[in-house]
């Protein structure tokens, strides 16, 4: 059986995957150990699902750098999808080749 194939009740379903490009800025580069990576997600994924996958990959360092205890984004974290700010992580669907940028706002005087 092909990789990514799921059989339930003798009905064959193929889960397609896609790749999206993720860019980290500021302190998030240090947390993840990279400034850019390619993530593979299910074809119907949202930005929120991608973010949870990235947190699972990079661990508590990324979790505490971008998420509140209740799972919402910290106030100083911005996420953009193809150069457009994402307001609702769960309603924004990803497409093959999308560019997702996770920004940690810079403050100081």
Domain of 85 in residue numbering reads as 16-104
84 found inside a domain: yes
pTM to 2 decimals? 0.82
Any domain includes 49: yes
Q: Per-residue pLDDT for 66 more than 70?
A: yes
Position 71 pLDDT exceeds 80: yes
Termini Cα distance of the chain: 59
Q: Could you tell me the CATH number of the domain that includes residue 52? A: 3.10.20.30
User: How many structural domains comprise the chain?
Assistant: 1
Whether 69 maps to a domain, the answer reads yes
Residue 81 maps to a domain: yes
For position 12, what pLDDT does the model report? 53
Is 2 part of any domain?
A: no
């Amino acid at each position: 059986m092909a990789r990514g194939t799921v059989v339930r009740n003798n009905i064959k379903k193929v889960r397609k995957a896609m790749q999206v490009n993720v860019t980290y800025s500021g302190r998030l580069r240090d947390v993840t150990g990279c400034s850019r990576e390619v993530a593979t997600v299910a074809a119907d994924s949202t930005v929120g699902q991608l973010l949870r996958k990235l947190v699972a990959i990079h661990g508590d360092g990324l979790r505490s750098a971008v998420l509140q205890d209740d799972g919402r984004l910290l106030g100083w974290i911005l996420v953009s999808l193809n150069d457009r700010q994402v307001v609702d992580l769960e309603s924004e669907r990803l497409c093959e080749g999308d560019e997702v940028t996770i920004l940690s706002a810079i403050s100081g005087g």
